[in-house]
């Protein structure tokens, strides 16, 4: 899993949105990386900022539940 995380990180660093979302999942689950909801949320926000509509929807869920971000119903 660590090798998969490394390749996913490389693709995400090159701007691949789906890789960024997948890497976020790695952080939420702790697959090959240290589990971190905050890092996962930052990656999803990065994908949302890049225009991913699915990432924008996920950010809404994270804000509602306060998962990796401070709970904020207005967001």
C-alpha triplet 8, 11, 12: angle, nearest 5°: 85
Q: Do residues 36 and 27 lie in contact, with contact meaning Cβ atoms separated by under 8 Å? A: yes
Q: Do residues 32 and 26 lie in contact, with contact meaning Cβ atoms separated by under 8 Å? A: yes
Is pLDDT at 52 greater than 90 in this prediction? Answer: yes
The pTM (predicted TM-score) of the whole model is: 0.92
Q: What is the pLDDT of residue 2?
A: 86
Q: Per residue in 8-30, pLDDT tens?
A: 999 999 999 999 999 999 999 99
């Amino acid at each position: 899993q660590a090798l998969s995380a490394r390749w996913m990180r490389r693709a995400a660093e090159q701007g691949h949105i789906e890789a960024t979302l997948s890497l976020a999942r790695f952080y939420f689950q702790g697959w090959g990386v240290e589990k971190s909801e905050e890092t996962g949320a930052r990656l999803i926000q990065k994908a949302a900022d890049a225009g991913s509509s699915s990432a924008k929807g996920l950010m809404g869920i994270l804000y509602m539940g306060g998962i990796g971000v401070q709970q904020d119903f207005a967001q």
